[in-house]
Structure 1
Amino acid sequence: MERFYSDVFGLVVTDRGVGAVFRNDVGFMTGSADQHHQLVLASGRQPDAPSTVMQISFKVSDLADLRDLRDKALAAGASDAIGLNHGNAWSVYFNDPEGNRIEIYLGFSEQAKETFDRYPFGGLCEYMVAPANGCVKLPDNVTCQQATRLGYTGTGYSALRKGGAGPDVVTLINGATGTLGLPTVLCALALGTTKILAVARNKALLEELRQLAPGRIFTHSTDDGPVRPWAIDQTEGDGVDLAVDCVGPGGTAARRHRCST
């Protein structure tokens, strides 16, 4: 293991010995001349025992170093490498040859705005693995930026399909004017749903939504009172056949409760 951390991270051994408290062989390594050790390796772990290390993190100065260290680590026996964008840092995670989890990361600095300007569409990965049945080819008249909206559309579409949305299935959509709710309403229209009860708070947005299909979309603002009596009235006492809650994490539990009671 000393060879791995020396070859990949440039650490050097500063000391070796036997622990005074636990009698195992230990090796001290550092990458800084003014620090005796930054990493300590110890013997005693059984060959079939899992790692108890949650994570060891190494910071790099730029993206080129991040990629270079990733390549060095894999060439030296690391495995299971993945990349993540945390928003405040880019990280690559992998297991060292003994199965300990390692992170190398580039923390964003005052110049982060420049980096985001260079990579404005998110995702920052060069390649990603995805199942073939989860991929579609974009038609020429759909841009990548437009396609990013299809993730929310697919979420709403899946809920409607699972709920059997269609003609004669009265569908209530809570949070209907939001990022998820709006495409769900559009999908319900496309599936032939003849009566959509759209619930949200903002009355102006609800009216814009209603204008898309005045004879099929019926709106209610939660500021005007409980949803249940309104929905019962809209269905002549029968109630709705399907309800889809599109309120995100910012929605309050009280408002969700008002939608179902």
Structure 2
Amino acid sequence: MVVPETMTAARLHEVGGELKLEKLPTPRPGDLDVLVRVKACGIVPNLGNILANWPTWFPHMPQPPLPAIFGLDPAGEIDAVGRQVHALKPGDRVYVNPGRSCGACRHCRRGDAISCKHYAFQGYFGFSDDAMLTFAQYPSGGLSEYMVAPASAVVSIPDNMSYEQAARLGYLGTNYSALKKANAGPGDTILVNGISGTLGIGAAVFGPAMGVKKILGTGRDRQLLEEVKSLAPSRIEVFSIDDGSITDFVMEHTNGEGADAFIDCLGPGAKHETFLQGLASLRRGGIAVNIGAVMGAVAIDVHWLMDHCQRLHGSLWFTTEEGQEMADLVAAGAANLSMFKTQGYPLAQVNQAISGIAERHGGFSNFVIYP
């Protein structure tokens, strides 16, 4: 394939400013990299806050140096590969996991890249000042016609997964990784707080594909909850938190034993009470996983956790291996992503898209940019 010398990209020049379309040199892949022609890049509900407020809210978690090309969830087609890339080729359809690490520390060498002190999201933010070295190597995200990424970060996507659906794998993968940490599988009953949201809906998609017997989903909007239930009516039960206690709801559906696992997908503004009701819904030996980032000091009875052999995990993002597993489940027909309603915008309308993303139909809305 002939790669053009220049490309169009949307760059942020100042915090709180608009993204500007610019012509830039097309990046070239290193020996272990791939060059991806981006076909769709997912944009998520908090992107506006990331661009406008992140340095003030979380100064210890740096963004790439400005001007920068953002864009967290790119999917597209490989246009070129580095000299030492042999298992991928031009024309391959892929999703790019944005998680980057140093690749050489003891965590990376044992397959735990997310624990690397250099870990960062390409085109988004890092988790410590050490991430600046990572941004120097991979500075640009998916809001551009082309991007370079390590071959090891690539998920091969099947023909029955559109680029728009693949651009949702980031938030789906966050829930999928939580399900795996919870050892979710056949015979299990899983409680999911916020199941109708952008994060939570992943449990309704992949929980049944993993053999989970029953998914108990909570939220506030009753109409959205019923739409989630319709994805697997015999295996999903839903409950509005406006109707009473989550714990009572779970005990009713588990003969008083409690859920095998609890995945909390509620965001920073959620009430601690809702999270604590989820913890109180666990059976003896149950596992809780937080992926929604409930904020503040939550009053947890650690003695109770110990006596009941319960575990509480904080889970961030997902591995490329887990990304490939999701793609393979879709390829096999075990998971279906057709419920997502895509709202797509050309790159020239990226600022309008970001400002309008608040108007969405819960987790069913899928916003993408077409570079």
Partner Cα separation in structure 1 for residue 21 and residue 224 of structure 2 = 44
Partner Cα separation in structure 1 for residue 21 and residue 238 of structure 2 = 51
* TM-score of the pair, normalised by structure 1: 0.52
In the TM superposition, residue 255 of structure 1 has moved relative to its aligned partner by: 2.9
Conserved in 1, the CA contact under 8 Å of 2:245 and 2:277?
Answer: yes
The letter of the residue matching 2:147 is Y
Over the aligned positions, Cα root-mean-square deviation in angstroms equals 3.3
Q: Secondary structure at the match of 1:198?
A: strand
The letter of the residue matching 1:129 is A
In the TM superposition, residue 174 of structure 1 has moved relative to its aligned partner by: 0.8
Aligned match of 1:123: 143
User: Whose radius of gyration is greater, 1 or 2?
Assistant: 1
In the TM superposition, residue 247 of structure 1 has moved relative to its aligned partner by: 1.4
> Closer, same or farther in 2 for the Cα pair 1:242/1:128, shift >3 Å?
same
In the TM superposition, residue 130 of structure 1 has moved relative to its aligned partner by: 2.9
Partner Cα separation in structure 1 for residue 205 and residue 21 of structure 2 = 44
> Closer, same or farther in 2 for the Cα pair 1:63/1:185, shift >3 Å?
same
In the TM superposition, residue 87 of structure 1 has moved relative to its aligned partner by: 4.0
In the TM superposition, residue 153 of structure 1 has moved relative to its aligned partner by: 1.4
Aligned match of 2:227: 208
Aligned match of 1:105: 67
> Closer, same or farther in 2 for the Cα pair 1:129/1:233, shift >3 Å?
same
The answer to whether structure 1 residue 157 and structure 2 residue 188 are counterparts is: no
Q: Of the candidates 250, 259, 268, which is equivalent to residue 249 of structure 1?
A: 268
* TM-score of the pair, normalised by structure 2: 0.38
Conserved in 1, the CA contact under 8 Å of 2:262 and 2:278?
Answer: no
CA shift digits 1:128-159 (9 cap, x unpaired): 33351x31222334332221111111111111
Partner Cα separation in structure 2 for residue 127 and residue 240 of structure 1 = 43
Partner Cα separation in structure 2 for residue 62 and residue 241 of structure 1 = 49
Question: Which protein, 1 or 2, shows the higher relative CO under an 8 Å CA cutoff with sep ≥ 6?
Answer: 2
Gaps of at least 5 residues in structure 2 are 1-19, 26-46, 53-63, 69-140, 281-371
The answer to whether structure 1 residue 147 and structure 2 residue 109 are counterparts is: no
Runs of 4+ in 1 over 6 A off after TM superposition: none
Partner Cα separation in structure 1 for residue 66 and residue 238 of structure 2 = 51
Gaps of at least 5 residues in structure 1 are 1-60, 68-84, 89-101, 107-120
Partner Cα separation in structure 2 for residue 62 and residue 217 of structure 1 = 44
Conserved in 1, the CA contact under 8 Å of 2:193 and 2:263?
Answer: yes
Could you tell me the percent identity over the aligned residues?
37
